[in-house]
């Protein structure tokens, strides 16, 4: 078996590969940037995620995903990923706050800050978006 321990960038895009080996970390342990665009992993998606999770240094991934659920599943599994398809990954840590249970001033400030977030609504047909400032305008979120 070939071991490419010094390889950091790997472009496998547009190849007829439908799965990756489960021991990927043994083959390319130091890969940081991986391009899997144009490849169909739809039937082996779970196995793909398991293989990618073995890459401890993976920071940037290019891959075509067919649904938001697939993106969510990938992002929740790949917590160290910094870039997906060239875009910086922004993870918001949502902290559960239950008023009255071990109140902490820092938790309260974080919770109140989340309530003031601006919600962006995208109209895909029009290609436009509108900022919805519901909490600032005292509108209900429901």
Same domain (yes/no): 14, 73: yes
pLDDT surpassing 70 at residue 136: no
Same domain (yes/no): 81, 116: no
Same domain (yes/no): 110, 83: no
pLDDT surpassing 90 at residue 25: yes
Same domain (yes/no): 13, 58: yes
Residue 74 and residue 60: Cα distance in Å, rounded? 13
Q: What is the pLDDT of residue 90?
A: 82
Which residue has 């890969």 as its token pair?
A: 31
SS3 at position 10: strand
Same domain (yes/no): 68, 138: no
pLDDT digits (tens, 9 = 90+) for 70-129: 999 999 999 999 999 999 988 664 444 444 555 556 555 554 544 444 444 444 555 444
Burial class (CB in 10 A: 0-12, 13-18, 19+), 89: middle
Same domain (yes/no): 70, 20: yes
Q: Looking at the 3D structure of the chain, how many domains does it have?
A: 2
Domain span at residue 129 reads: 105-142
99, part of any domain: no
Same domain (yes/no): 56, 109: no
- The closest of 58, 54, 11 to 32, measured between CA atoms, is 58
Same domain (yes/no): 80, 21: yes
- The closest of 109, 115, 110, 121 to 135, measured between CA atoms, is 115
pLDDT surpassing 50 at residue 15: yes
| Residue 140's pLDDT band (cuts 50, 70, 90) | very low
- The closest of 130, 128, 108, 127 to 119, measured between CA atoms, is 130
What's this model's pTM, rounded to 2 decimal places?
Answer: 0.63
116, part of any domain: yes
Average confidence score pLDDT of the chain? 76
Which residue has 């799965």 as its token pair?
A: 19
Same domain (yes/no): 119, 69: no
Assign 3-class secondary structure to 83-105: EECCEECCCCCCCCCCCCCCCCH
CATH number of the domain to which 59 belongs = 3.80.10.10
Higher pLDDT, 99 or 46: 46
Same domain (yes/no): 22, 73: yes
Main-chain dihedrals φ then ψ at residue 26, nearest 5 degrees: -80, -25
């Amino acid at each position: 078996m070939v071991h490419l321990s010094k390889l950091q960038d790997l472009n496998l895009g547009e190849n007829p590969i439908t799965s990756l080996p489960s021991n990927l970390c043994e083959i390319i342990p130091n890969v940081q940037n991986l391009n899997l665009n144009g490849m169909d992993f739809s039937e082996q998606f779970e196995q793909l995620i398991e293989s990618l999770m073995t890459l401890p240094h993976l920071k940037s991934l290019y891959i075509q995903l067919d649904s938001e659920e697939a993106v969510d599943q990938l992002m929740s599994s790949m917590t160290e990923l910094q870039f997906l398809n060239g875009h910086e990954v922004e993870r918001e840590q949502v902290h559960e706050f239950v008023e009255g249970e071990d109140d902490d001033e820092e938790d309260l400030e974080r919770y109140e800050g989340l309530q003031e977030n601006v919600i962006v609504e995208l109209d895909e047909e029009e290609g436009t978006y509108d900022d919805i400032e519901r909490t600032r305008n005292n509108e209900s979120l429901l």
